[in-house]
Amino acid sequence: MTGGWRGTIVAAAFVSALSVIAFGHATRGFRVVTSDGARQFDLARAPVALPDVILADASGHRVRLREPGNAHRQTLVTFIYTHCLTVCRSSASGQAYLQAQLVARGLADHYQLLAISFDPSRDTPDVLRAYGRKQGADPAVWRMATVADAADMPALLKAFGVVVLPDGRGDYVHNAAHFLIDGQGRLARAYDIDRPDAVLADIVHAQR
């Protein structure tokens, strides 16, 4: 009986140790506790290459995701769809805040904003243009776009770790974040969608 209990305890301890190791890996050494946190941690350590996707912006121009404007400007990206009444409002208000701050601080030559719709069938250039006007977007600083080819959308969402699920009523449930594409066209950082102030803090720090 004693040997049996001893074996059970050893087995339980072994399973617990494996669980701790696995959790430690998933949480990047216990530094993060969510999948979004893990993504932020990983990107901060090692930027990743993005697919060479072609976007169509609100003016009907086609641009490459890796270089949506001046190659010397880094790009702050969010994912939206214009019919969204929930998290996209945080995305839009965050980018509006960042637009105002970039202009006020003279940083618009170094950073630009890009909102990408994952609903290309409804978010045509005309719709995106109207949405941009409603948000107060200055096209020289903050551009609205979607994929030129809808077949590119799954790879694009996967690259950014954005999950989009139909809600059965014609809309979507999705996660969101602020992303930074660096001057080399790599996905370099991710930030909580409700923390545009953290994005700004990093931008200001990088300019010092």
pLDDT tens, residue order, the chain (208 aa): 455 555 554 444 444 444 434 434 433 343 333 456 677 767 777 888 999 999 999 999 999 987 766 667 899 999 999 999 889 999 999 999 999 999 999 999 999 999 999 999 999 999 999 999 999 999 999 999 999 999 999 999 999 999 999 999 889 999 999 999 998 889 999 999 999 999 999 999 988 8
Are residue 20 and residue 121 in the same domain, yes or no?
Answer: no
Q: Are 79 and 160 in contact (CB under 8 A)?
A: yes
Are residue 121 and residue 27 in the same domain, yes or no?
Answer: no
Q: Angle at Cα 62 formed by Cα 57 and Cα 66, nearest 5°?
A: 90
- Closest by CA to 132, choosing from 148, 147, 119, 113, is 113
| Per-residue model confidence (pLDDT) at position 32 | 34
What is the domain extent for residue 18?
Answer: 2-31
Q: pTM (2 decimals)?
A: 0.80
Residue 187 placed within a domain: yes
Residue 8 placed within a domain: yes
| Per-residue model confidence (pLDDT) at position 12 | 45
Are residue 79 and residue 177 in the same domain, yes or no?
Answer: yes
| Per-residue model confidence (pLDDT) at position 13 | 45
Are residue 86 and residue 21 in the same domain, yes or no?
Answer: no
| Per-residue model confidence (pLDDT) at position 176 | 94
| Per-residue model confidence (pLDDT) at position 184 | 87
Are residue 66 and residue 153 in the same domain, yes or no?
Answer: yes
Are residue 8 and residue 95 in the same domain, yes or no?
Answer: no
- Per-position DSSP letters for the chain, written without gaps between them: -HHHHHHHHHHHHHHHHHHHHHHHHHTTTTT--SHHHHHHHHHHHS-EE----EEEETTS-EEETTBSS-TTSEEEEEEE-TT--SHHHHHHHHHHHHHHHHHHTT-TTTEEEEEEES-TTT--HHHHHHHHHHHT--TTTEEEEEESSGGGHHHHHHHHT--EEE-SSS-EEE--EEEEE-TTSEEEEEEETT-HHHHHHHHHHHT-
Compute the half-sphere exposure of residue 2: CA atoms within 13 Å on the CB side of its CA.
0
